[in-house]
Amino acid sequence: MSYQYIHIEDPETLELREADDLTCSADEVIIDVAYAGINRADVLQRMGFYPPPEDASPVMGLEVSGTIRSAGETSGFSIGERVCALVHGGGYATQAKAKAECTLRVPAAIDMQIAACLPEAFLTVWYNVVVRAGLKGGETLLVHGGTSGIGNIAVQLGKSMNCLVIATAGSSDKCQLLADIGADVCLNYNEASLTEQCTEQGLLGTVDVVLDMVGGDFEQFNLECLAVDGRIACIGLMRGGQATIDLTQLLMKRATLTGSTLRRLTHEEKARCFRDVDEQLMPLVESGQMRPLTDKTFDLKEALAAQTYMSSGAHAGKLLLSCG
Ligand SMILES: NC(=O)c1ccc[n+]([C@@H]2O[C@H](COP(=O)([O-])OP(=O)(O)OC[C@H]3O[C@@H](n4cnc5c(N)ncnc54)[C@H](OP(=O)(O)O)[C@@H]3O)[C@@H](O)[C@H]2O)c1
């Protein structure tokens, strides 16, 4: 028996290939993939800018939903269970391998397309906003890239914690989407400077936590909008990895600037976060209180078209590959 996966021939050529069925060790599961989530990291991997860690699958794809095809004896899962999982590469395929501790059962009320949007966003948002930046109920959260696969979950997490949520996006349509998912203040970064907009609305110096996926020239604004003891969690560099900042603000505000990449967390840290998101976030999706934004689903063999669409920036919400 064999399964299909997407092979990177070169940055502009992706091929559908076949290989023998995957096998797993005792603490792992093999998933018959229904949907794979598409992430920016996949685009960077295809272009050769983000090589996978040595122990990871060279196949793109960091998250999937599907059903258990085979389960290692200590995994605690059974064949046929509906799951979603963070995978160590290999998601762009009809079968994927995951550690049991990075696999979540999907309640019946949650659609498998929605389930594929969850692992990467749940983990990234939880680890950065809650664990590292320590967001507390009632604080003010600023989310850049609010309509992204990651950002929309952060906005909705903030609302579930009764925070005031400010979010940025690059168009009025995307700002409307942000309002629809509950953001209290939506800032269009193409309309006027963010500093100007925040000053007008009396928000400068009020933000407790920034989830920043853009960096670059927005970094100084991040510091300006922070309250005393504010925290910035940097997870992406859509506006570049170089920034000039006024360190006086860092001192005067006792600010914390932190950052992380999910791929480099230890299995233990990922497992700890997975237990937390299963308890804290999955029930919000199950009850409909959290509604992950989705944009478009492509066929597995259209992976290049899907990534080209992501690179265009026209999407809002998660892009998926149908792999079943
Ligand atoms: N560190 C980690 O562990 C980790 C894990 C997952 C993802 N990430 C990062 O999180 C980000 C979102 O990932 P994703 O997969 O959800 O991608 P995505 O849906 O394509 O999101 C990209 C976001 O960045 C915003 N953006 C793009 N160019 C911008 C610019 N010049 N100025 C301001 N905003 C800009 C976009 O907002 P508009 O469309 O409104 O312009 C969009 O919301 C990526 O940077 C990714 O690398 C990091």
Q: Do 195 and 87 reside in the same domain of the chain? A: no
Query: 194: Cβ below 6 Å to ligand 1?
Result: no
Q: Do 30 and 148 reside in the same domain of the chain? A: no
Cα(313) to centroid(ligand 1), Å:
9
Q: Do 161 and 214 reside in the same domain of the chain? A: yes
Q: Which amino acid is at 98?
A: A
Band of pLDDT at residue 263, cut at 50, 70 and 90: confident
- Is 280 a member of any domain? no
Q: How many domains does the chain divide into?
A: 2
The mean pLDDT of 95-121, rounded to a whole number, is 98
Query: 119: Cβ below 6 Å to ligand 1?
Result: no
Cβ-proximal residues to 129 (8 Å cutoff; 6+ apart), any chain: 135, 141, 154, 157, 158, 209, 211, 233
Cα(236) to centroid(ligand 1), Å:
7
- Is 273 a member of any domain? no
Query: 313: Cβ below 6 Å to ligand 1?
Result: yes
Domain housing 53: 2-117+292-322
Q: Do 109 and 133 reside in the same domain of the chain? A: no
pTM reported for the whole predicted model: 0.97
- Is 298 a member of any domain? yes
pLDDT at 181 over 90: yes
pLDDT above 90 coverage of the chain, percent? 97
Q: Do 34 and 67 reside in the same domain of the chain? A: yes
Mean pLDDT score of the chain, rounded to an integer? Answer: 97
For residue 80, the domain's CATH number is 3.90.180.10
Cα(81) to centroid(ligand 1), Å:
32
Cα(39) to centroid(ligand 1), Å:
9
Query: 231: Cβ below 6 Å to ligand 1?
Result: no
The mean pLDDT of 198-215, rounded to a whole number, is 98
Band of pLDDT at residue 1, cut at 50, 70 and 90: confident
- Is 276 a member of any domain? no
The mean pLDDT of 146-154, rounded to a whole number, is 98
Q: Do 216 and 246 reside in the same domain of the chain? A: yes
Q: Do 79 and 209 reside in the same domain of the chain? A: no
Band of pLDDT at residue 264, cut at 50, 70 and 90: confident
Give me the pLDDT at residue 267, please. Answer: 87
- Is 79 a member of any domain? yes
- For 29-66, how does the pLDDT look when each residue is reduced to its tens digit (9 = 90+)? 999 999 999 999 999 999 999 999 899 999 999 999 99
Alpha carbon distances (Å) from 137 to 141, 209, 280: 10, 12, 14
